[in-house]
Chain A
Amino acid sequence: MATVRVQNVSKWFPRRDGESLHVLQNIELDVPEKTIVAIVGESGSGKSTLLNIIAGLVKPDRGCVLLNGVKSSEFTDWRSMTYMFQDDRLLPWRTAAANVAFGLEAAHVSRAERKQRVAETLALVGLSDFADLYPHELSGGMRSRVALARSLVTRPTLLLMDEPFSKLDPTIRAQMHAEVLRIASLMAMTVIFVTHDPEEAVVLANKVVLLNPRPGRVRETRTIDLPYPRDPSAPEVNEQARALRRSL
């Protein structure tokens, strides 16, 4: 299980001219267990910074983040969450299987168990037959699946994604969306992801948080009540996406 609460978080970044840039202002966010939350905003709204603060990679200047009710400064179970980047970041010198294993290498998992879990996770994303290929031998979609598998191999309860799959072409992207939804429900994960694409937010999320830019503030939070799977070309999905785009 995983819950996230962002309480009154503010963040400033130092600028080169000595001034500081106000990136986030009094952010409040409540993510119950097993929800899929989209953080939507234009560039400069601090959405990636917010995700990095939740991930514990960046410290907030004010406020705090509660992970499973524990302040992130006192939180220790970091391996229960994983972070997916915009690009796949596969290590070119490792095979697909070895790239997936990378996720487990920081955790102290025995070699035998590691091998078994890598095989399991590759099967989960449908890449069992490609375990021994190097990244340059894989297609863009397959590479994304490997990156997803690397994030899942630690069996996280919280999955954070920063504009995932945004570099893929639309068909493959839609496939990856379906994969994430299937796996998130299978593994009972809580998912928080950042996107600038309203359609992606509506297809994936139960809850959408809209950020205003400079400094990033929560403008509104909406619930998306449509049943899964959501067809991106369905009128109700389109309508919600349009409404979201209008408020951006």
Chain B
Amino acid sequence: MPVAPPTPLAQERAETRTPTHLARERRLRLIAQRLALIVLLLIVWQVASLNAPAFVLPSPKRVWEAWSGLVVTANFWKDFGITFSRVFTGFAFAAVIGVLFGLLLGANEKLGEFFEPVLTIINTVSSTIWAIFALIWFGLSNWTTIFVVFMTAMPLILTNVWQGTRSVNVDFIELAQTFRMSRLQVMQKIYLPTILPPFFSAARLAFGFGARVSLVAETLGASSGIGYRLRQAADLVQTDQVFAWTLTLVALMIALEALILKPIENRLFSWKKRAGDQ
């Protein structure tokens, strides 16, 4: 029986359905790949742990048990809260100061030229050195960790905002002038939207760095928090606990990225030309 050619309408419908269909397929494939990777890593880990003593490489099962033991304790969540409140505080200071000074240096070329080396200096000093300084200045307090997070995150945000102000399109400022917009309106309607993308990518990066260096600071100069617990577990050769803390952190950072940062970014920058558009 001859097959009737598809009606134009049916053809059109098939075409319009294809992209979403493809996207779903791609997402399913991605999830399958990720699951396969996790299984593979677990197998490698399990096999490796068979030939090593537990204090060197504990088995997945042992780590799981250590983790389940940790999660039910109140201290686990308390330490998590302490570490993340330090990271958030340091990050918040870094964001406010980074944005303010980034705007200032971007707006004033001479000032920017004069202060540029300061950034280079800050960037060349390792976080560990900041941690040591912080320990000297603030002792065993929250501020040690906050300071280290700040010193790591601030230059990143500042540099990006500064570069962002430089990339503001002069044509758009001229346009605003032809409409007799005030300085404040130009800031709000031209500068801010231009700076937002570089600020956001810097903030994401800075938060990740901040969270990582906070642990360094805590192992050196704190009596609470995840970093402190990690050192304690290492000192007591509780390797399974070190693993449990580490995996929790990794999971948390991935969740933060996927559930909070990525959606915000997609929403804020939906106007950007996506790769693959005509």
Residues of A within 8 A of B (CB): 55, 57, 78-79, 82-83, 85, 87, 89, 91-95, 102-103, 105-106, 134, 136-137, 154
Contact = CB atoms under 8 A, between A and B. Distances in A.
Contacts of A78: 180
Interface of B: 171-172, 174-182, 185, 189-190, 193, 271-273, 277
Contacts of A102: 175, 179, 189
Interface of A is mostly: loop
Given A91-B193, A93-B271, A83 B180 contact: no
Given A93-B193, A102-B189, A82 B277 contact: no
Contact of A82 (B178, B190, B193): B178
A175 to B, nearest CB: 22
Nearest to B180: A78
Nearest to B181: A106
A55 B178 contact: yes
A106 B190 CA distance: 13
28 contacts: A57-B177, A57-B178, A78-B180, A79-B179, A82-B179, A85-B175, A87-B171, A89-B171, A89-B172, A89-B174, A89-B175, A91-B172, A91-B189, A91-B193, A92-B272, A93-B193, A94-B271, A95-B271, A102-B175, A102-B189, A105-B181, A105-B185, A106-B176, A106-B179, A106-B180, A106-B181, A134-B271, A136-B271
A102 B190 CA distance: 11
A57 B181 CA distance: 13
Q: Interface on chain B toward A: helix, strand, loop, or mixed SS?
A: helix
B172 A136 contact: no
Nearest to B197: A93
Given A89-B172, A136-B277, A83 B178 contact: yes
Nearest to B192: A93
B273 A136 contact: yes
Given A57-B178, A105-B179, A106-B176, 10 more contacts: A55-B178, A79-B179, A79-B180, A82-B179, A83-B178, A87-B171, A89-B172, A89-B174, A89-B175, A105-B185
Nearest to A137: B277
A128 B179 CA distance: 23
| Shortest Cβ-Cβ A-B pairs, 9 listed | A83-B178, A106-B181, A106-B179, A136-B273, A93-B271, A93-B193, A89-B175, A134-B271, A78-B180
Contacts of A85: 171, 174-175
